[in-house]
Amino acid sequence: MKYLKQFITPISGLPEGEHWFDFEIRKEFFECFENSDILDANIVLKLQLIKRSTMLELEFSFAGTVNVECDRCISPVDIPIELTEKIIAKFGNDAYDEAAEVLVIPFNEPEFDVSKLVYELIFLGLPMKRVHNEGECLEGIEDRISSTEDNSDDEIDPRWAQLKNL
């Protein structure tokens, strides 16, 4: 997809040493991936890329918010994301690929697409439970939940109902 093109970083043309890339991650990014729970996003990503003769060191630093459905009231909620993650990618060949526990980039690969890594890391940075702060959930929904609870309290235990008939 066109939007993801910006995440293709040059490699072979880069001199060895430190390089920086900045990205803004918005809703469009997540629309390029299927089955995304992300409704919207406002994330600044700084990527530090250190090129060495045998490997790349990639440090991703995310800061911002993602907008998702609240697990409690299903209305949208902004969840902050602060994550720094370092990934090593070795230069190698395909035979080496399977066994390696680190990412392997083929020798002489002109560029490296980091979009999938970025996508996975954002999910890594999200908490399991995505909810509003206490008391900030959409009221209507909470009322509905509590009124359902009330109704169940009103139901008379059938054993008591029988006693009433005596």
Q: Which of 47, 56, 73, 114 binds Zn ion (CB under 5 A)?
A: 73
Confirm or reject binding of residue 72 to Zn ion (CB under 5 A): yes
Q: Which is nearer to Zn ion, 110 or 135 (CB)?
A: 135
Closest CA to 21 of 4, 37, 3, 7: 7
Binding segment toward Zn ion, per CB under 5 A, in 15-23, 81-89, 132-140, 155-163:
132-140
Give yes or no for a contact between 75 and 138, defined as CB atoms under 8 angstroms apart: yes
For the bound state, the minimum distance from the C-beta of residue 73 to Zn ion, rounded and expressed in Å, comes to 3
Q: Which is nearer to Zn ion, 10 or 76 (CB)?
A: 76
For the bound state, the minimum distance from the C-beta of residue 67 to Zn ion, rounded and expressed in Å, comes to 12
Instruction: Give the C-alpha separation, 27 to 11, whole Å.
Output: 27
Residue 4 CA: distances (Å) to CA of 35, 113, 141, 150: 17, 9, 37, 50
